[in-house]
């Protein structure tokens, strides 16, 4: 069953959580390790650990899931389970990397023979099962699928300290790693051990971020026009022409604390498929095992009971030394997500029109993901983040958490894809059935304009402070362990379960230029 992790207050977090931070990326990508001695280790052992970490600091694995764009529908659930298995394999390998520093210091071939070799064998077997599942379902698996089994140990000195990242074609771009599994930086220089694993310190409460460089004073950001996403992703679709109306649905702020670490879109049938907690509003039946019928028959937190859609996003936690209910559970402390979960004070869900045309109704059970939970290593192709502060929303940052002045609150804004291929409610990589509008507001590739979902979340949280290069009073998104709680990994998910009458009312309202709710 999926888990609803209802919040309870528990004692202060212990430093044991940060013993040896497990920062892992499932399926592929870069894994960066900041290694710390556990509380019982002596300083000499700690020095040896840090020295060894400087030799092999990361593991670079090809990202398999992004390559599987043509998976037959009846094979997707099984393939999703195997991709989750890749996640678990890489996580286990990373933990072994972090826990065997003394053995590595005495044997230069230890990582290759005892960690990377076994990992390659496990990945090869999983990839073979993926190939079989695709081919049996009548599809054609990539011919070079088996070549994605090999991962590489990446020495710390390869990092260039910047965000020299690449797109899926291996061309230089700001934001990720080469998707063909070649050795890349994967992003910011994590320094091989300079983070503080104490409460609110430079490495966050769990030792795997955020760091001081992840924050910026919003007053130091020049006005830049407001939310637009990364690389033009998430441009607002509506304007003064075309379909100019709006439709707002009020579904609350997750007052009943409905959360789990599943993702029914990406990892159906996989418990803890997200490895981080989501806040849910709208549909109350959402977990990894929910079918479309379960969702259609579920309860909803929306005021208009005709909206049983599900809206979900990663939680924000305060790095204040307090545990939450999931401190020792998957998706929480076991995956490096610790601290007190804070719900948004406002959650505004608005659908808008298109600058150049009318919109058509979204189909029942349409799934849309905006942003990329793994963009720290995958690159910016699918990143779509907007961070700001109330009173300063003409100033937006994409790769920093904002520090807001007194009386101002943190704002997260997501503009969803609003062009649909007219046929599919999902796609193998959960991307290609929808698209963003072009700069002029039109839909590319013959896609149809649908109402654009815009989600604006407001959080009343204490402002972090940077003192002597360390962040105090930090806050951070939940993330996959390897993503180091980077703000660029923010994402948002939607599954449409408006009933037909209410969806038609929304379309009519938007196309006729009215503001409705």
Q: How far is CA 388 from the centre of its chain?
A: 18
Domain coordinates of the chain in residue numbers?
22-174, 212-279+309-516
Return the CA Rg of the chain. Answer: 22
Q: Please give the C-alpha separations between residue 435 and each of 97, 333, 418, 446, 447, in angstroms, as whole numbers.
A: 39, 35, 6, 11, 8
Beta strands (DSSP E) in 386-490 are 387-389, 401-403, 410-415, 419-420, 434-435, 448-449, 452-459, 465-467, 470-472, 475-477
Distance of alpha carbon 116 from alpha carbon 113, whole angstroms: 6
Q: Dump pLDDT digits (tens) for 203-219.
A: 667 667 788 999 999 99
How many Cβ atoms from other residues are within 10 Å of residue 292's Cβ?
13
Helix ranges restricted to H, 25-75: 43-53
Residue 40 scores a pLDDT above 70: no
Average pLDDT over residues 300-314: 98
Q: Dump pLDDT digits (tens) for 507-517.
A: 999 999 999 99
User: Phi and psi of 515, rounded to 5°?
Assistant: -105, 115
Average pLDDT over residues 132-142: 93
Residue 259 scores a pLDDT above 70: yes
Pair of tokens at residue 45: 């052992």
Predicted pLDDT of residue 215? 97
Q: Dump pLDDT digits (tens) for 391-436.
A: 999 999 999 999 999 999 999 999 999 999 999 999 999 999 999 9
Pairing mode of beta strands 465-467, 470-472: antiparallel
Contacts (Cβ under 8 Å, ≥6 apart) of 232:
436, 439
Yes or no: say if 453 and 494 are a contact pair by the CB < 8 Å rule. yes
Predicted pLDDT of residue 377? 67
Q: Dump pLDDT digits (tens) for 339-388.
A: 999 999 999 999 999 999 999 999 999 999 999 988 876 778 899 999 99
Nearest to 335 by CA among 95, 6, 98: 95
Q: pLDDT averaged over the chain?
A: 80
Nearest to 174 by CA among 232, 231, 223: 231
Pair of tokens at residue 298: 């579920």
Pair of tokens at residue 195: 């983070």
Yes or no: say if 189 and 460 are a contact pair by the CB < 8 Å rule. no
Least confidently predicted of 111-115, 247-251, 341-345: 111-115
Predicted pLDDT of residue 348? 98
pTM, two decimals, is 0.79
Looking at per-residue pLDDT, the higher value among 105 and 94 belongs to 105
User: Phi and psi of 15, rounded to 5°?
Assistant: -70, -10
Yes or no: say if 154 and 185 are a contact pair by the CB < 8 Å rule. no
User: Phi and psi of 328, rounded to 5°?
Assistant: -115, 25
Residue 21 scores a pLDDT above 50: no
Beta strands (DSSP E) in 14-88 are 29-32, 58-61
Residue 475 scores a pLDDT above 60: yes
Q: Dump pLDDT digits (tens) for 446-460.
A: 999 999 999 999 999
Average pLDDT over residues 163-181: 34
Residue 258 scores a pLDDT above 80: yes
Report percent pLDDT > 70 for the chain: 78
Residue 237 scores a pLDDT above 90: no
Nearest to 31 by CA among 213, 163, 186, 192: 186
Predicted pLDDT of residue 47? 37
pLDDT confidence bin for 155, thresholds 50/70/90:
low
Q: Dump pLDDT digits (tens) for 76-92.
A: 889 999 988 887 887 77
């Amino acid at each position: 069953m999926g888990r609803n992790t209802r919040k309870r207050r528990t004692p202060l977090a212990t430093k044991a959580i940060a013993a040896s931070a497990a920062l892992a990326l499932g399926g592929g990508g870069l894994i960066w390790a900041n290694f710390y001695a556990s509380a019982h280790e002596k300083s000499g052992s700690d020095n040896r650990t840090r020295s060894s970490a400087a030799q092999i600091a990361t593991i670079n694995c090809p990202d398999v899931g992004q390559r599987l764009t043509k998976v037959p529908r009846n094979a997707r659930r099984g393939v999703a389970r195997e991709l989750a298995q890749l996640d678990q394999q890489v996580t286990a390998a990373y933990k072994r990397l972090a826990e065997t520093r003394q053995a590595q210091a005495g044997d230069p071939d230890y990582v290759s023979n005892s960690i990377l070799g076994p990992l390659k064998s496990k990945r090869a077997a999983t990839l073979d099962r993926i190939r079989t599942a695709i081919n049996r379902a009548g599809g054609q698996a990539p011919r070079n699928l088996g070549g994605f089994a090999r991962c590489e140990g990446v020495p710390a000195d390869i990092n260039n300290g910047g965000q020299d990242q690449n797109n899926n074609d291996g061309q230089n771009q700001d934001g990720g790693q080469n998707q063909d599994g070649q050795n890349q930086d994967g992003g910011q220089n994590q320094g091989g051990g300079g983070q503080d694993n104490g409460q609110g310190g430079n490495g966050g409460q769990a030792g795997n971020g955020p760091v001081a460089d992840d924050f910026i004073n919003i007053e130091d950001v020049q006005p830049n026009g407001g939310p637009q996403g990364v690389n033009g992703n998430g441009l607002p679709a509506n304007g003064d022409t075309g379909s100019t109306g709006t439709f707002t649905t009020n579904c609350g702020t997750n007052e009943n604390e409905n959360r789990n670490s599943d993702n029914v879109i990406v990892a159906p049938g996989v418990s803890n498929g997200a490895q981080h907690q989501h806040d849910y509003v709208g549909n109350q039946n959402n977990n990894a095992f929910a079918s479309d019928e379960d969702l259609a028959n579920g309860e909803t937190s929306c005021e208009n009971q005709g909206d049983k859609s599900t809206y979900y996003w990663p939680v924000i936690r305060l790095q204040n030394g307090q545990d939450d209910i999931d401190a020792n559970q998957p998706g929480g402390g076991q995956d490096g997500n610790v601290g007190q979960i804070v719900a948004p004070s406002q959650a505004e869900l608005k659908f808008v029109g298109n600058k150049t045309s009318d919109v058509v109704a979204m189909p029942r059970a349409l799934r849309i993901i905006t942003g990329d939970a793994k963009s720290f290593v995958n690159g910016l192709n699918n990143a779509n983040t907007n961070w700001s502060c109330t009173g300063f929303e003409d100033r937006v940052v994409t790769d920093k958490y904002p520090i807001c002045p007194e009386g101002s609150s943190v704002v997260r804004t997501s503009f969803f894809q609003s062009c649909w291929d007219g046929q599919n409610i999902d796609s193998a990589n959960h991307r290609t059935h929808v698209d963003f509008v072009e700069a002029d507001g039109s839909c590319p590739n013959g896609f149809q304009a649908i109402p654009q979902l815009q989600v604006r979340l407001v959080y009343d949280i204490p402002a972090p402070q940077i003192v002597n290069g360390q962040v105090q009073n930090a806050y951070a998104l939940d993330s996959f362990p390897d993503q180091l709680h980077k703000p660029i990994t923010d994402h948002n998910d939607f599954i449409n379960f408006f009933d037909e009458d209410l969806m038609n009312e929304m379309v009519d309202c938007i196309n006729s230029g009215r503001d409705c709710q």
